[in-house]
Amino acid sequence: MIVLGVESSCDDTGAAVLRDGRELSNVVASQEEVHGPYGGVVPELAARNHILHVVPVIERALDQAGVRLADIDGIAATRGPGLVGSLLVGLCTAKALARRLGVPFVGVNHIEGHLLSIALEADVERPFLGLVVSGGHSALYLARDDGSYAVLGQTRDDAAGEAFDKAAKLLGLGYPGGRAIEELARGGDAHAMRLPRPRVKGAALDMSFSGLKTALWQGVEAAPEMPLADVAASFQRAVVETLVEATRRAIGTTGATRIVVTGGVSANGALRDAMARLAEEEGATLLVPPLRRCTDNAAMIAYAGWLRLRRGESDPLSLNAVAELPLGPRFVPDQA
């Protein structure tokens, strides 16, 4: 079965072609240069740029896969969560194409795509624990045996990537700033600045990053002579420890033995190292997809769509984009 996937939830336009769940092509057009000067994604500009990119990106994906439109058996597109103007571009293009070709269409939850990105690499047994950390998301999920998902915990304010980006802005490092902070932190003392590890009262698996950003600002004001490398390393350590401790508690709650970490922030070496240590301590297996599958892309969307399309499922062409689209209910521990 040949599936075309389309992704346009934020600022990257993606198209990918899979044959029986295996990637034939995975093309992404980035808008980093468009949004960089603004220090964050400008929704209006993102939607307009998706319009420019979506058809050429689909054509390139078909070309690279050596597949013609007539060969496509089904189409999957991201329906949420994300920026509505952005989502609508990919979703409407995918629906129009499905209608024109007379093939089934499915709308995919972007977060399910992230969690399944690992499945393009290796067979992953469920249940597994998934940490999705990007510029827009920081949340922990349980992917269950029956294909359903539960939300274990999520950020109450900024996403981890957003925290990196805001800290980078404060330190004058440009946007997006996660990579710049990591590079700067390499030569720094991660214990130089004392920063809080915010916990959310009454929800042990939820996270919070906005207080950290304020504390960083106050720390820099109080110690202007501190080398930037020390500041960056201390900040990175605080974010990484917050993510690792939430994941540790999630392992304790669920007893999961497989951990998947994905999203743009999973590029961070300190986070990968810390997660590897956590997995070892907890006797769990850590799975991190290669970076090109961790950041927003359409192969993960096509894969999630393929799981439904191959069962003969489809969505009506009236399916709408949804900005806030939960992947599942809150996790409730077994009463047994």
Which stretches of the chain bind Zn ion, using CB under 5 A?
134, 296
- Residue whose CB is less far from ligand KG4, 10 or 304: 10
Structural contact between residues 129 and 139, judged by C-beta atoms closer than 8 angstroms: no
* Residue 229, helix vs strand vs coil: helix
Nearest-approach distance from CB 78 to Zn ion, in angstroms:
9
From the list Zn ion, ligand KG4, none, which binds 158 (C-beta under 5 to 8 Å, kind-based)?
none
Nearest-approach distance from CB 134 to ligand KG4, in angstroms:
3
Closest of 236, 85, 211 to residue 155, by C-alpha: 211
From the list Zn ion, ligand KG4, none, which binds 31 (C-beta under 5 to 8 Å, kind-based)?
none
From the list Zn ion, ligand KG4, none, which binds 112 (C-beta under 5 to 8 Å, kind-based)?
none
Nearest-approach distance from CB 186 to ligand KG4, in angstroms:
11
- Residue whose CB is less far from Zn ion, 182 or 296: 296
Structural contact between residues 195 and 238, judged by C-beta atoms closer than 8 angstroms: yes
Cα–Cα dist 243/271, whole Å: 8
- What is the amino acid identity at position 27? V
Nearest-approach distance from CB 133 to Zn ion, in angstroms:
10
- Residue ranges that bind ligand KG4, judged by CB under 6 A: 10, 134-136, 161-162, 164-165, 176-179, 182, 263-265, 267-268, 295-296
Residue corresponding to tokens 């998902």: 149
DSSP string, 139-173: EEEEE-TTS-EEEEEEBSSS-HHHHHHHHHHHTT-
From the list Zn ion, ligand KG4, none, which binds 107 (C-beta under 5 to 8 Å, kind-based)?
none
- Residue whose CB is less far from ligand KG4, 13 or 295: 295
Cα–Cα dist 231/172, whole Å: 12
Nearest-approach distance from CB 111 to Zn ion, in angstroms:
8
**CB neighbours (10 Å) of residue 277?**
12
Nearest-approach distance from CB 207 to ligand KG4, in angstroms:
15
From the list ligand KG4, Zn ion, none, which binds 178 (C-beta under 5 to 8 Å, kind-based)?
ligand KG4
Ordered alpha helix ranges (H), 66-185: 84-101, 110-116, 160-170, 178-185
